[in-house]
Amino acid sequence: MRVAIHQPQYLPWLGYLDKLDRTDVFVLLDTVQFKKNEWQNRNRIRTAQGWQYLTVPVLHEFPQRLDQVRINDQSDWRRKHQTALETHYRKAPHYDRYAPAFRALYSRDWGRLAPLNIEVIRMLTEAFGITTRLVEASRFTARDDQTGRLVDLCKALGADRYLAGDGGRAYMNLAEFEAAGITVEFQEFAHPEYAQVYEPFIAGMSAIDLLFNCGHDGIDLLRKSRRSIA
């Protein structure tokens, strides 16, 4: 069984979705320290000017865990995000099909960041027909160090393979995985190119860019772009 582990991101990009789609179980790492204004509370959408961030404002105290971070609802961020999607994607071929789900998402009062991110990820997996099982790391007991945490989560799930991101070699102790009988594989993500609402094509947008422009079939583009079969 192949497992991947990653912090739940807001409107995650295609590299994140690709890793999720390659696995049997994807662990949403909600137990690590929150890092403000990285990908945990913001991501990018395509605009006529290039791209822009959609950022969820948060209230946090260092060094809070991700699952403890509260959303700052003093800002009307939900209306702003919904308006941004309408403005820049209403002419996308599949926007009308998926827009109601996002309107429903932004109509809810979330309170905390992690549940919002996890719901967005669940929406994306459903829309693209991805069947990977999602579980929260907070359901398990694991060590605090980087490699130990990953190994413990893999062992708790009975995994014999761990899919790491392209940068995993820089910080992971591969010998510890080997000692635990877990084979480490690396993602080696290749970004697909597709028709966007605006030209020229810009990579690195949220996965909703692929969804609104290509619909359910966008997952086939993502899979065909892989350098290796997973």
Domain extents in the chain? 2-224
* pLDDT range class, residue 153, cuts 50, 70, 90: very high
Mean of pLDDT values over 71-77? 94
Mean of pLDDT values over 159-167? 93
Can you tell me the distance from the alpha carbon of 188 to that of 41, in angstroms, rounded to the nearest whole number? 25
What is the number of helices (H) and of strands (E) in the chain?
Answer: 8, 9
Give the helix/strand (H/E) hosting 83: helix 77-89
Q: Is the pLDDT of residue 228 over 70?
A: no
pLDDT confidence of residue 168: 82
Q: Pairing between strand 70-71 and 58-59?
A: antiparallel
At 86-106, the pLDDT tens digits run 999 999 999 999 999 999 999
